[in-house]
Amino acid sequence: MSLFGTDGVRGLVGSEPITPQTVMKLGWAAGCVLCSKGVGNKVLIGKDTRISGYMMESALEAGFSAAGVNVSLLGPMPTPGIAYLTRTARASAGVVISASHNPFHDNGVKIFSSEGTKLDDPLVADIDQKMLESMSCVKSAELGRAERFSDAQGRYIEFCKSTFPSNLDLSGIKLVADCANGAGYEVAPRVFEELGADLLTIANEPDGFNINADCGSTHLNALREAVIESNGQIGVALDGDGDRVLLIDENGDVVDGDRILYLLATYRKQQDTLGGGVAGTLMTNLGLEQALARLEIPFVRTNVGDRFVHEVLVNHDWLLGGENSGHIICLDKNTTGDGIVAALQVLEVMLETQKPLSELVADMTLFPQVMVNVRVEGADAKKLVASKGVVEAAKAAEKELGADGRIVLRPSGTEPLIRVMIEGNDHHQVDRLTNQIADQVKAAM
């Protein structure tokens, strides 16, 4: 069984696989595989603001050193910043210590290739295989060295600013940024301020425990209130590792990842810079698919996870894709989802069109969509999804919805959850059917 899920290795700190021993061995295994493939022996390690990041950083450093791999430590850094620096610093790989939008007691490890993309499946399989071996250590003279990376944040800040047109600035824009008490708590405010925004920042005082706690892209109430009270024109909510972004418009309404994709795709088509079509996932709202169809913009769905969106974009030679959760990939800007860069793309459209955010997304109607997450700690999620009661409830719901709705029933790749999602024309019907299936999942446990 692979150690890696949809988005790397993730779990509860202190429980396998997020223990000092296993994390150290993971660093060793990854280092050995990279060296054996001739990829090189320089790895960057960055992290978010969780208290456990210190422990995991030290464990990974020890593992890579034992494999003879040199390490550069970035400190707190958004995931897309680590991808960018891995690529531009000519590193062999970039390692992210983060559990993204999860609470502080979770943590994880994900690895970028030298190109700043998620590792391909063969390399992941090789690392999994190496984890089955006993850990060893190179000779003392061959041990890897560790050093601090000079001005990592400054370099990423300059990169973010470079993705914004040089003939524009944010002066006159009242912007509220929610940094989720996470990896973007220093970087994001500096980017927006240096571009001239009238900035109000919230959730930018991490203490190791408050990452994603009632803030960030998974908890938008504080940002909504701040936008309304300050008469803001836009609210920007990052998640804990800065690769997601959701927005609040000037009226206090949420602009999710699907609406961000619609806004960017519409503007890019008008400017003849779209570069093909748009990639979404199984969770993408049917409203986006229909809105893009009206604009004659091709659309493809893939499995949930930004790595799958990236694969589709590369295979189709497209530039724009993402998830409704706020992973927005602009391949002409960065190799992975980048919350700050995506927000800057939206701000560019607002400035160039002189339209408020609410107006830019008004033509897209979202279908009512309800998702229930059923916690299945210790249970086999795949067996639960395939159990008789759950399958029958899903078939009955599909029959009732007909052609006007969709059902997505799947185990989460990052948490011990089964996600039940239904969308259709009638919110009450969608809510009822979603809870009926969720109840069957609970009964099957």
Residue type for position 26:
L
Q: Would you call 65 a catalytic residue per the annotation?
A: no
Strand 70-76 to strand 42-47: parallel, antiparallel, or no bridges (unpaired)?
parallel
Half-sphere exposure of 187 (CA within 13 A, CB side): 35
SS (H, E, C) the chain: CCCCECCEEEEECCCCCCCHHHHHHHHHHHHHHHHHCCCCCEEEEEECCCCCHHHHHHHHHHHHHHCCCEEEEEEECCHHHHHHHHHHCCCCEEEEECCCCCCCCEEEEEEECCCCCECCHHHHHHHHHHCCCCCCCCCHHHCCCEEECCCHHHHHHHHHHHCCCCCCCCCCCEEEEECCCCCCCCHHHHHHHHCCCEEEEECCCCCCCCCCCCCHHHCCHHHHHHHHHCCCCEEEEECCCCCEEEEECCCCCEECHHHHHHHHHHHHHHHCCCCCCEEEECCCCHHHHHHHHHCCCCEEEECCCHHHHHHHHHHHCCCEEECCCCEEEECCCCCCCCHHHHHHHHHHHHHHHCCCHHHHCCCCCCCCEEEEEEECCCCCHHHHHCCHHHHHHHHHHHHHHHHHCEEEEEECCCCCEEEEEEECCCHHHHHHHHHHHHHHHHHCC
- Please state, in angstroms and rounded to a whole number, the distance separating the CA atoms of residues 429 and 345: 36
Strand 146-148 to strand 106-112: parallel, antiparallel, or no bridges (unpaired)?
unpaired
Inter-helix orientation angle 388-401/427-443, to 10°:
170
Catalytic residue among 65, 98, 100, 217: 100
Question: Which of the residues are catalytic?
Answer: 100
